[in-house]
Structure 1
């Protein structure tokens, strides 16, 4: 662990660091000359008078055109900006700062150092994604970051690590010095169950540090022009030994939205300074609005709310998520609630489905900022929760809650659109149990502690839901998009990048007690980047898209059409059953068509299950090991693998035609990883 931490927090002597930075700057500048591969970093682009590098999920935007969320900001990676700091990464190994950074690289600043971005368009607001150290005993610190424009300091941001730095085994600890939370669990680091060994093995601390990053938004006070320079400096006075800047998002925010004909919460006693609890005033405004059929309006300000606001048949509008902020503390309950919660916190909740749920709820134009710093799975400390049928959630910004939006059905017809959900301890969105005819679209997710977007058909199947045109970046644990059972589901036109640990960009999983897959599952037009993580317990690399039969077979018709899997860490496509059930369950009726694979560390397809899949017009290049790694269910019968690959033609790149199909055993279970070149236009 010491070696990994040193890689994350380098302490190279100053002169050597300057030399390394200079060499990197020269190499990346040369890479950007005419004829260099598309997407190559251009070190000189952050300097005055040069063209800034704008990316999407650290990719050339042309590689992901038409995919992912439509957002109002422009993204610039710190490693492409001018700096006297040190570029760290790339690194895809969990528990390091580069691995959790967008694009797997970032810039480390020592006190007095800076990184400078050139604005690509007019902007009056920025978002900085950053990391600073934890306190020695956990709990976080604060530190300043100076913001200057064209050489003149205009603001000082106060950064915090109070919502970052988790350690240990699931569900994790804030204490870097804690002993194992579960000494009776298998630990890969010692290949043992510690509690069953004599002597008890020593696990180096801090054990499995993760969740390093946070982000902060800042209104600049005026509009700056394209070409103006935004400099972020870790000042000499900083309390942080180092500051890592991952990226800067710049945006031109419009004026606050004004709603005159509405139940204005100020008229009911709400405090826009955040000094007093505004929950009772907001509830009085909601009651009045329901009687008069008016919307509730939250004008610009910060409103303190430390518990759930129950919503039903009401519209609540803010002045815009940059202007209207509903913020609250996490509050310990005097005794556990019936649902097991031991805390409450800020959130807008529909009534429980068992009580009939809520309907006709419309939330828009405000931010929800929680105070969740630890993961307690029984706690209902989500930004939005309950059951919300025939409802809309639009234009919100949600951060520092457990889950941004966790909806417990049965319920139907909720639409989540144009929303940002960042810095969550667990998921961003989860459709849980009997959610039907619902949509998440043009929603941007970054830095979740579990699945970014999930549909979980526990006890009752979800049906006819869509995740469409969303962006999910850097889920620290688990998957970008996860579908656990359900009927007639569509995952389309999404952009998913940089899963860090024990997950994939897209997972189709028969697990967690989910109801079976039925009808059609359509996965169409998605792009993934730098996906597929190391599975800690299996000690194998996962695929960018991962099919997992654990609780039962997956045999609904699945169509994967038009996806692009870019710069895959290991496999592009993986189909697997758990070893204990490999002779019970299989994965079949999966069909891949018009798919492009640009770079794999190992294989295009890895099959570790019985079943079948077909492939038509699946093109691949820069394949690291073998095109097909077909282990079947590991019986290695004379008749071949228990998994059959059907070649329907047009599969360019030689990855499939080179093998004796349909079920030749080509089982190299852990082939050497060959890092692929950066993706480029096909």
Structure 2
């Protein structure tokens, strides 16, 4: 997989990564802890409560080059947290000052792809206070994708879909004579990965962790985005559980342990015991089927279930052409699973390409009356993907990183379930999604989660469903073709019915450029593509910070603009701090009400009201109802209720950085 120029040279980083500023021999600043590159006070009470301190590389001491800020897709800064990072060449370093005691770190980084795709490995030296040196082996084998959906690992490939319209030429290449020349690699993306390291001892606040690119490595450049410092407790032990070692599991990872884990599960079910995965690396190259069982690890830093992706000789009944490590409930058609409890281990996959029919997810199937807590899921296709009907699943305190597709998806028929206090970083599609494709998802909640840098699509997305809630989440830095929060009547979803509650969320640097429409989206956007959106949508207490284009957007696609509308949308007690374009961009028929919606640092007109583009003498087909208390002058009286203020391609004015209200 890969980014910009194929065997990226240092010079190419400027082209791919945006402008940079060198910092030679900078002394270490005081440690600056941020959340999604923001002061923690700006997001207090929003997002996951985590046990690590996040520090951005651009705020640390370095003799490398700060790249960004830049929000342009297919660039290194656009996919970085806060849209900035630090590029190091051999011999250069970035040094972080620990804000609190730590014995482990997570480093988010990017290194070049190989010229033919497939990735490289390269060393990164880690030293604390000038000593205690260790070397991390970084890899780009799980990064770097190219081309059109569902993407390619080959930077040399021509268009996957020459019959699709593309913005690069403003044409359908296969219908153009002569066909246009397309720059290769085409649309590089998914540049970053992360790696964890136990430091072997506990260091104090004020100690300095230096990351240095050694001479003679395989990478012409290394980009460091951020460092998380952790204080990891000792391994957990369960002496009364069925220990998988007693059934032949190999903690060295050399032999496959899947059959041994199955045997431990069968024994534990008969004896009504939990299953214990002790410290170690356990090789598993297929699904572990779970039902009526508790599986506990020693902690996600100590117990790692790791596997290869395996090609199947014939497609599976679920149409998978590969299998790989994962813990799966039985599919709903087979009766589903229940009373499953997974906790305290890591799932490390080997997924390097996106094949939508493959079930190579960290956790899957149907799990009712179950819990998933404290897992670290890395390098699978989707962190957790569930196909109901199923009910009462609790997903808490997990970290899901570097997925090829979604972080968590309630695909269909999931009810009364909760996703709370999770961190999702660098998903290749929606960070958190509820997709009511064949059966509606009902009475589910996404609460107090942090979603960072989804490369494609949205931070949090609802596609149809009834009485679902998105609350107290923090969503930062979506990269392309999506928003912070999205409600979409699309992908064959069932209608939105009942209520949708979007409450007390914060987005920052959200709202991306839609390639096909060639317009900027909103930090929250509602999209009526296949049906009306007429459920009671209540957006209350949200904060939209530093929105790249618009804060709030309602839209219907041009071919259906006279068929579908968006109504019953209500916004209350919302604050908008910074927009590149407008507070509200309306490109659909319908209506919305606004009460105590305050805005400042608005780039263009407060309301860009195009309605359904008929520009009738009676005004726009979209009405904005003022319920009072809307401060900041954005909802000017002359715009109400449906004055046409349409600018199809408004200019972008970069907003000021967010600040306390």
TM class, shorter-length: over 0.9
Q: Paired residue for 2:419? A: 440
* 1:488 and 2:467 correspond: yes
Q: Paired residue for 1:51? A: 30
Q: Paired residue for 2:207? A: 228
Relative to structure 2, which stretch is displaced further, 443-452 or 179-188?
Answer: 179-188
**1:154 offset after TM fit, Å?**
1.8
User: Which residue among 464, 480, 496 is the counterpart of 2:443?
Assistant: 464
8 Å CA contact 1:651, 1:657 repeated in 2: no
Q: Deviations over 1:279-321 (max 9, x none)?
A: 0000000000000000000000000000000000000000000
Moved over 6 A (4+): none
TM score, norm. by length of structure 1: 0.94
Q: Deviations over 1:255-296 (max 9, x none)?
A: 000000000000000000000000000000000000000000
Distance 2:531 2:654 in 1: 34
Q: Paired residue for 1:63? A: 42
Q: Paired residue for 1:390? A: 369
Q: Paired residue for 1:40? A: none
8 Å CA contact 1:321, 1:396 repeated in 2: yes
**1:153 offset after TM fit, Å?**
4.6
Q: Deviations over 1:613-641 (max 9, x none)?
A: 00000000000000000000000000000
Q: Quick one: structure 1 residues 196 and 318, their matched pair in 2 at CA, closer, same or farther if it must change by over 3 Å?
A: same
- Report the secondary structure of 1:277's partner residue: coil
Q: Paired residue for 1:366? A: 345
Distance 2:470 2:171 in 1: 39
What is the aligned residue count?
655
Distance 1:587 1:10 in 2: 48
Q: Paired residue for 1:282? A: 261
**1:604 offset after TM fit, Å?**
0.2
User: Which residue among 547, 557, 562 is the counterpart of 1:583?
Assistant: 562
Distance 1:630 1:200 in 2: 38
8 Å CA contact 2:329, 2:336 repeated in 1: yes
Q: Paired residue for 1:195? A: 174
User: Which residue among 283, 306, 318 is the counterpart of 2:285?
Assistant: 306
**1:21 offset after TM fit, Å?**
3.6
TM score, norm. by length of structure 2: 0.97
* 1:163 and 2:142 correspond: yes
* 1:258 and 2:248 correspond: no
8 Å CA contact 2:236, 2:298 repeated in 1: yes
User: Which residue among 54, 65, 85 is the counterpart of 1:86?
Assistant: 65
The RMSD of aligned alpha carbons is: 1.7
**1:57 offset after TM fit, Å?**
0.3
- Report the secondary structure of 1:434's partner residue: strand
* 1:323 and 2:306 correspond: no
Distance 1:293 1:443 in 2: 29
Distance 1:609 1:466 in 2: 28
Structure 2 residue runs of 5 or longer lacking an equivalent are none
Distance 2:11 2:147 in 1: 24
Q: Quick one: structure 1 residues 305 and 99, their matched pair in 2 at CA, closer, same or farther if it must change by over 3 Å?
A: same
Distance 1:240 1:561 in 2: 47
Q: Paired residue for 1:143? A: 122
Distance 2:160 2:177 in 1: 18
- Report the secondary structure of 1:287's partner residue: helix
Q: Paired residue for 1:31? A: none
8 Å CA contact 1:146, 1:153 repeated in 2: no
Q: Paired residue for 2:11? A: 11
Distance 1:96 1:486 in 2: 35
Distance 1:133 1:4 in 2: 8
* 1:403 and 2:382 correspond: yes
Q: Paired residue for 1:535? A: 514
Q: Quick one: structure 1 residues 363 and 20, their matched pair in 2 at CA, closer, same or farther if it must change by over 3 Å?
A: closer
Distance 1:409 1:4 in 2: 40
* 1:451 and 2:407 correspond: no
User: Which residue among 436, 461, 479 is the counterpart of 1:500?
Assistant: 479
Relative to structure 2, which stretch is displaced further, 210-219 or 190-199?
Answer: 190-199
- Report the secondary structure of 1:267's partner residue: helix
Distance 1:204 1:21 in 2: 27
* 1:107 and 2:86 correspond: yes
Distance 2:479 2:637 in 1: 32
8 Å CA contact 1:593, 1:618 repeated in 2: yes
Q: Quick one: structure 1 residues 265 and 12, their matched pair in 2 at CA, closer, same or farther if it must change by over 3 Å?
A: closer
**1:4 offset after TM fit, Å?**
7.5
Distance 1:154 1:287 in 2: 44
8 Å CA contact 2:607, 2:639 repeated in 1: no
Q: Quick one: structure 1 residues 12 and 297, their matched pair in 2 at CA, closer, same or farther if it must change by over 3 Å?
A: closer
Q: Deviations over 1:239-258 (max 9, x none)?
A: 10000000000010000000
8 Å CA contact 1:333, 1:344 repeated in 2: yes
Q: Paired residue for 2:645? A: 666
Distance 2:9 2:133 in 1: 29
8 Å CA contact 1:553, 1:586 repeated in 2: yes
Q: Deviations over 1:428-449 (max 9, x none)?
A: 0000111000000000000000
**1:238 offset after TM fit, Å?**
1.2
- Report the secondary structure of 1:354's partner residue: helix
Q: Paired residue for 1:644? A: 623
User: Which residue among 599, 605, 608 is the counterpart of 1:620?
Assistant: 599
8 Å CA contact 2:584, 2:606 repeated in 1: yes
8 Å CA contact 1:375, 1:425 repeated in 2: yes
Distance 2:581 2:513 in 1: 12
Distance 2:21 2:481 in 1: 32
8 Å CA contact 1:119, 1:228 repeated in 2: yes
Structure 1 residue runs of 5 or longer lacking an equivalent are 26-42
Distance 1:424 1:662 in 2: 44
Q: Paired residue for 2:543? A: 564
Distance 2:292 2:11 in 1: 57
Q: Paired residue for 1:516? A: 495
**1:657 offset after TM fit, Å?**
2.3
Q: Deviations over 1:331-388 (max 9, x none)?
A: 0001111111100000000001011100000000000000000000000000000000
User: Which residue among 387, 392, 395 is the counterpart of 1:413?
Assistant: 392
8 Å CA contact 1:505, 1:531 repeated in 2: yes
**1:51 offset after TM fit, Å?**
2.0
**1:427 offset after TM fit, Å?**
0.1
Q: Paired residue for 1:38? A: none
Q: Deviations over 1:214-261 (max 9, x none)?
A: 000000000000000000000012110000000000010000000000
Q: Paired residue for 2:223? A: 244
Q: Paired residue for 1:208? A: 187
- Report the secondary structure of 2:300's partner residue: coil
